[in-house]
């Protein structure tokens, strides 16, 4: 199992429309692309002594599959479920099904936006939620993941 190895791995999973960062509503989500955020996460991972496995999909079932995979291959998961956080009981159930600690993150402060974004179905299943710090939310989530797996 991964936990016995010296190098710790954190999956950073990204849900729908995050591939559009840099183009999609930069006033809300910032001007960084997902590739920029991935580079920031990989650099932060080096500083934290963790390996970052960064992924994005627009498909809910793929996120579920990656969460299942994390059970055997990752020490922690940071997930930006995008809109699926507000709609997906399947993601909630997948998070609860694995023993790997999961941190939910969002670029924007979901509590300061439209009312339908205030609640996520995934939040009750995760160790914690980070939101509202733009691209830095990812770095904060990685720092939290490092604390959880030490």
| Residues classed as catalytic | 29, 106
User: Do 64 and 91 meet the contact criterion of CB atoms below 8 Å apart?
Assistant: yes
What does the chain look like in DSSP terms, one character per residue?
Answer: -GGGSSSEEEEEEE-TTGGGTTTS-HHHH-S--HHHHHHHHHHHHHHHTEEEEEEE-S-HHHHHHHHHHHHHH-SEEEEE-GGGGGT-HHHHHHHHHS-S-EEEEESS-GGGS-GGGS--SSGGGSSEEEESSTTHHHHHHHHHHHHHH-
Please give the Cα distance from 29 to 21 (Å, whole number). Answer: 7
Please give the Cα distance from 13 to 69 (Å, whole number). Answer: 12
């Amino acid at each position: 199992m991964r936990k016995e190895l010296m190098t710790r791995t954190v999956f950073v999973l990204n849900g729908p429309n995050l591939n559009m960062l840099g183009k999609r509503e930069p006033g809300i989500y910032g001007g960084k692309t997902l590739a920029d955020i991935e580079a920031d996460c990989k650099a932060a991972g080096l500083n934290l002594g963790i390996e970052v496995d960064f992924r994005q999909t627009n498909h809910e079932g793929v996120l579920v599959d990656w969460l299942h995979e994390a059970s055997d291959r990752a020490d922690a998961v940071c997930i930006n479920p995008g809109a699926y956080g507000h709609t997906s009981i399947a993601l909630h159930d997948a998070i609860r099904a694995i023993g790997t600690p999961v941190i939910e993150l969002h670029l924007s402060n979901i509590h300061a936006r439209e009312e339908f974004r205030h609640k996520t179905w995934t939040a009750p299943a995760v160790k914690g939620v980070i939101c509202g710090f733009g691209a830095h939310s990812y770095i904060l989530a990685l720092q939290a993941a490092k604390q959880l797996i030490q």
